[in-house]
Structures are given as structure tokens and as C-alpha cells.
Copies of this chain bind each other. A is one copy, B any other.
Amino acid sequence: MADARMNRQVLLVSRPQSEASVDNFRLVETPLPPLEDGQVRVRNHFLSLDPYMRGRMNDTKSYAPPQPLDEVMIGGTAGEVIESRNPAFKAGDRVVGMFGWQEYGTSDGSGLRVVDTTHVPLSAYLGAAGMPGVTAWYGLNGIIEPKAGETVVVSAASGAVGSVVGQLAKAAGCRAVGIAGGEEKCRYVVETLGFDACVDYKAGRLYDDLKAAVPDGVDGYFENVGGEVLDAVFARMNAFGRIAVCGMISGYDGKPLPMKAPALILSQRLKVQGFIVSEHMDVWPRALKELGEGIASGKLKYRESIAQGIENAPQAFLGLLRGKNFGKQLVKLV
């Protein structure tokens, strides 16, 4: 074998009983086999860390099969083709794929997409110009369907998805109100992202602060969190309000997460709808185009938290689950 290069990978080796921990993961080194005909090899530059990964660690019935044990942890990646025996790719191509938590990816090209980094940075294709951005776009346009003058609230507002939701809502002529953890994040949401207001749920006055931030009630809510945040927003929903349920990160460790007052669904005639962005592939081209244009023009703003080195991926992921990230959480691999 001419190619003796080693590939560092992170495997899921056990499932959390409640909270996930670094012990659920293991770093291994695997020699890279020579490329076969039709294959392409990518040096991953960035690994995307996303809340949905916590769900995959569990062995419970959900929309996706669980992540198998002792295999490379699932995840989106962005990198550069370093070797190709596939005519659709050439060395130097910037590509986005789902190679998971490892430094190199090898594939037959399926699921790999060449991206243009002239005006949009490579890392953004894992954030505002990628899956999280499309998630925001679909939940807002496909479920909430905001009308100018309405109030749209989003939780985890400084995150990869929430930050896009609020900016798109503003662009649609809505009052955009974020919910985020801590003064610094809230300041960023208002001053940099341009939301009309942001409620710091860590300040201990969630309901009162939210009530003050939505004087005309809430018409659309983009839910990333669940639990008491959902209960608080629910209580301020206007008649015919729409709630797009994208995530319930506060329940991912398995603790019960009841909804306090579901009767409001009736009395306010709400529509509450869950969605998974990968099931709406028809909107991706349009959404990606709009999001890419927004980023290229500088109108759509985003922020990244970047951990360095594959060996730090587990710790960075656990931080994401606890809200320690500020913006899109990435791991830089080169």
C-alpha cells in the first residue's frame, strides 16, 4: 500500500443512560485504504455539530434509525477533494457531505455536493447556507407562513437555525423576537442579527419578559427547545397561531417533558406541526439559493463557535447540548 495515511475517527461506543458524556465516544486511528475506481477521497475541513445527533445516540424509536455502536458518529462535513477516481470530482473541489466525525471521507460520490466558495465561505455550507439554514427556511415558510405585521418568536435564537429564522421573519415584515440563554447572546440577537427583542431565559423571568416582548401576542413560533419555554410561548399565542416544532433539546436526555396547557390548541385554534428538513428536499434548491444570496450580500448574518481538532468533537458536542456554543458549532479539522 502506497498510502499509509491514517484517518482519525470518533466512534459512538455506548449509549447515554441520561446525559451524554465523553465516555460514550472513542477516538480511533484507521489506515486509509487505496482509492478504488469510481471513488473520491475528501479531506474534511469542518465537521458540523447539531442537536439532532443527541437523538441518534439513543436506541429508541424515532424518525431515523439510531446511530450504530462502534461506527463513525454521523454528521455533516465540508472539505476538499484530495484524490478522485470519479469523473464528477477533481482534486481541489470543495464539497459538502455526510462523512461523520472523521478527518477523511471516502465515497462513490453519492451524497457529495460540490459548492462554490467564491462568495460563501466553506463553513457556511454547514450552517446558514446548509441544513440549519434550510431548516429555518422550511419551518418559517412551510409551516408558520408569516404575514407582514405578525410577531414571530424563535427559541435558541442565537443558534445556527434560530438566527436564520429571526432574520427571515424580519425580512418578511414581521416583529422578530428571540429567546436565548444569557445577556451576551441576547445582545447579539438584537444588535447584530437585528431582531426586535430577545428574552434571556436564564434571567428567571421568562414569562413576564416574554409577555413584555410580544405586546401583540405571538402569531408564529419556531420551537427548538421544548419544556417551560414552550409553555411560556404557548400562553401568549394568538388565535390561529402556528408553531413549527423543529427540536425539543430540553428533553433529549430522556427526562419527561410534558406540555402544560394543550387545551390552548383548541381555544386559540393553533396549528402545531413537527417537521424534519430532510423530508422536504423539494424546497432545498430554492432555500439554498436564497440563503446563499443573503450570505454573499452580507445581509444574512451568522456566527460560528469553532472547536479545533477531531479529538475535541465530543466535548464540543456536549457543550452544544448545554448551550455553551454561541452560533453554529463546528469542529475545524485542518
Binding site for B on A (CB under 8 A): 55, 61-63, 226, 230, 239, 245-248, 251, 256-263, 265-276, 279
Min CB distance A52 to B, Å, is 10
Q: Are B239's CB and A63's CB within 8 A?
A: yes
A55 CB contacts on chain B under 8 angstroms: 267
Q: List 5 A-B contacts (CB under 8 A).
A: A245-B262, A262-B262, A265-B273, A266-B274, A270-B273
Q: Are B257's CB and A226's CB within 8 A?
A: no
Of chain B, the residue at the smallest CB distance from A271 is B273
Q: Are B261's CB and A265's CB within 8 A?
A: no
Residue with the greatest number of chain B CB neighbours at <10 A, chosen from A62, A256, A268, A274: A274
From B245, B269, B271, give the contact of A63 (CB < 8 A). Answer: B269
Q: Are A268's CB and B262's CB within 8 A?
A: no
Q: Are A269's CB and B279's CB within 8 A?
A: yes
Q: Are B259's CB and A246's CB within 8 A?
A: no
Once the chains are docked, how many angstroms separate the CA of A258 from the CA of B261?
Answer: 5
Once the chains are docked, how many angstroms separate the CA of A62 from the CA of B264?
Answer: 9
A62 CB contacts on chain B under 8 angstroms: 267
From B63, B230, B269, B270, give the contact of A262 (CB < 8 A). Answer: B230
Min CB distance A122 to B, Å, is 30
Once the chains are docked, how many angstroms separate the CA of A205 from the CA of B287?
Answer: 47
Q: Are A274's CB and B269's CB within 8 A?
A: yes
Of chain B, the residue at the smallest CB distance from A279 is B269
Min CB distance A244 to B, Å, is 10
A257 CB contacts on chain B under 8 angstroms: 261-263
A272 CB contacts on chain B under 8 angstroms: 265, 270-273
Q: Are B258's CB and A260's CB within 8 A?
A: yes
Of chain B, the residue at the smallest CB distance from A250 is B263
Once the chains are docked, how many angstroms separate the CA of A251 from the CA of B263?
Answer: 8
A266 CB contacts on chain B under 8 angstroms: 245-248, 274
Of chain B, the residue at the smallest CB distance from A62 is B267
Once the chains are docked, how many angstroms separate the CA of A63 from the CA of B263?
Answer: 12
Of chain B, the residue at the smallest CB distance from A275 is B269
